[in-house]
Amino acid sequence: MRVNLARTVVFRRDQPPVETPAVVGWNIDQTIIPIFARNDAAAIRATARQSMLSLAVTLAANYSAETGKIVDLAEFVANPPTDVAIMPDARPAFVR
Protein backbone atom coordinates (compact mmCIF):
# COMPACT_ATOMS: atom_id res chain seq x y z
CA MET A 1 0.00 0.00 0.00
CA ARG A 2 1.27 3.47 -0.81
CA VAL A 3 -0.40 6.44 0.89
CA ASN A 4 0.19 10.15 0.49
CA LEU A 5 -1.95 13.24 1.01
CA ALA A 6 -3.47 13.07 -2.46
CA ARG A 7 -4.17 9.37 -2.97
CA THR A 8 -3.87 5.80 -1.75
CA VAL A 9 -2.66 2.96 -3.96
CA VAL A 10 -3.28 -0.63 -2.85
CA PHE A 11 -1.15 -3.36 -4.40
CA ARG A 12 -2.39 -6.97 -4.30
CA ARG A 13 -0.66 -10.06 -5.56
CA ASP A 14 -1.73 -10.97 -9.11
CA GLN A 15 -4.03 -7.93 -9.44
CA PRO A 16 -3.58 -4.48 -10.91
CA PRO A 17 -3.00 -1.65 -8.41
CA VAL A 18 -6.13 0.16 -7.21
CA GLU A 19 -5.84 3.92 -6.73
CA THR A 20 -8.23 5.92 -4.55
CA PRO A 21 -7.95 9.70 -4.68
CA ALA A 22 -8.35 11.60 -1.42
CA VAL A 23 -11.47 13.66 -0.86
CA VAL A 24 -10.53 17.29 -1.36
CA GLY A 25 -10.07 19.04 1.98
CA TRP A 26 -10.41 15.85 4.05
CA ASN A 27 -7.81 15.01 6.66
CA ILE A 28 -8.02 12.06 9.08
CA ASP A 29 -6.72 14.27 11.89
CA GLN A 30 -9.81 16.47 11.58
CA THR A 31 -11.94 13.43 12.43
CA ILE A 32 -9.94 11.43 14.96
CA ILE A 33 -8.11 14.04 17.07
CA PRO A 34 -11.31 15.60 18.56
CA ILE A 35 -12.54 12.11 19.51
CA PHE A 36 -9.34 11.40 21.42
CA ALA A 37 -9.36 14.87 22.95
CA ARG A 38 -12.88 14.29 24.30
CA ASN A 39 -11.91 10.77 25.43
CA ASP A 40 -15.18 9.73 23.80
CA ALA A 41 -15.43 5.97 24.35
CA ALA A 42 -18.75 5.82 22.50
CA ALA A 43 -17.11 7.18 19.34
CA ILE A 44 -14.24 4.68 19.43
CA ARG A 45 -15.94 1.42 18.57
CA ALA A 46 -13.02 -0.80 17.69
CA THR A 47 -12.49 -3.93 19.73
CA ALA A 48 -9.03 -4.80 21.00
CA ARG A 49 -8.76 -7.39 18.20
CA GLN A 50 -9.73 -4.84 15.53
CA SER A 51 -7.24 -2.38 16.94
CA MET A 52 -4.50 -5.01 16.92
CA LEU A 53 -5.25 -5.92 13.32
CA SER A 54 -5.22 -2.25 12.32
CA LEU A 55 -1.76 -1.90 13.86
CA ALA A 56 -0.67 -5.13 12.16
CA VAL A 57 -1.68 -3.76 8.76
CA THR A 58 0.36 -0.61 9.41
CA LEU A 59 3.41 -2.55 10.57
CA ALA A 60 3.13 -5.00 7.67
CA ALA A 61 2.94 -2.10 5.20
CA ASN A 62 6.04 -0.56 6.80
CA TYR A 63 7.84 -3.90 6.63
CA SER A 64 6.89 -4.32 2.97
CA ALA A 65 8.09 -0.80 2.19
CA GLU A 66 11.42 -1.41 3.96
CA THR A 67 12.10 -4.84 2.42
CA GLY A 68 10.25 -4.72 -0.91
CA LYS A 69 8.61 -8.04 0.04
CA ILE A 70 4.94 -8.95 -0.35
CA VAL A 71 3.55 -9.58 3.14
CA ASP A 72 0.94 -12.18 4.05
CA LEU A 73 -0.88 -10.52 6.96
CA ALA A 74 -1.85 -13.76 8.74
CA GLU A 75 1.75 -15.01 8.57
CA PHE A 76 3.05 -11.61 9.64
CA VAL A 77 0.81 -11.61 12.74
CA ALA A 78 1.56 -15.26 13.61
CA ASN A 79 5.34 -14.93 13.09
CA PRO A 80 6.46 -11.29 13.20
CA PRO A 81 9.74 -10.73 11.35
CA THR A 82 12.89 -9.81 13.21
CA ASP A 83 15.19 -9.13 10.25
CA VAL A 84 14.33 -5.44 9.78
CA ALA A 85 13.53 -2.65 12.20
CA ILE A 86 10.01 -1.78 11.06
CA MET A 87 10.03 1.55 12.84
CA PRO A 88 13.71 2.55 12.91
CA ASP A 89 12.99 5.93 14.50
CA ALA A 90 9.95 6.19 16.75
CA ARG A 91 10.23 9.95 17.28
CA PRO A 92 7.34 11.96 15.78
CA ALA A 93 8.20 13.63 12.49
CA PHE A 94 7.76 17.11 13.98
CA VAL A 95 10.52 16.40 16.58
CA ARG A 96 13.22 15.50 14.07
pLDDT tens column, 12-56: 778 888 887 777 766 666 666 777 777 777 777 777 788 888 888
Are residues 62 and 80 part of one domain? yes
Cα(93)–Cα(81) distance, integer angstroms: 24
Clarify whether residues 10 and 51 are in a common domain.
no
Shared domain check, 52 and 36: no
Q: Residue 26 has what pLDDT?
A: 67
**Alpha helix segments (H runs only) across 1-96:** 28-38, 48-67, 73-78
pLDDT tier at 65, thresholds 50, 70, 90: confident
Q: How many domains does the chain have?
A: 2
Reference 61, options 82, 87, 23; nearest CA is 87
pLDDT at 75: 92
Same domain, 62 and 33: no
Residue 31 is predicted with a pLDDT of: 67
Query: Do both 41 and 66 map to the same domain?
Result: no
For residues 11 and 40, state if they share a domain: yes
Q: What's the pTM?
A: 0.50
Please check whether residues 6 and 41 belong to one and the same domain: yes
Domain extent at residue 17: 1-45
Are 3 and 36 in a shared domain? yes
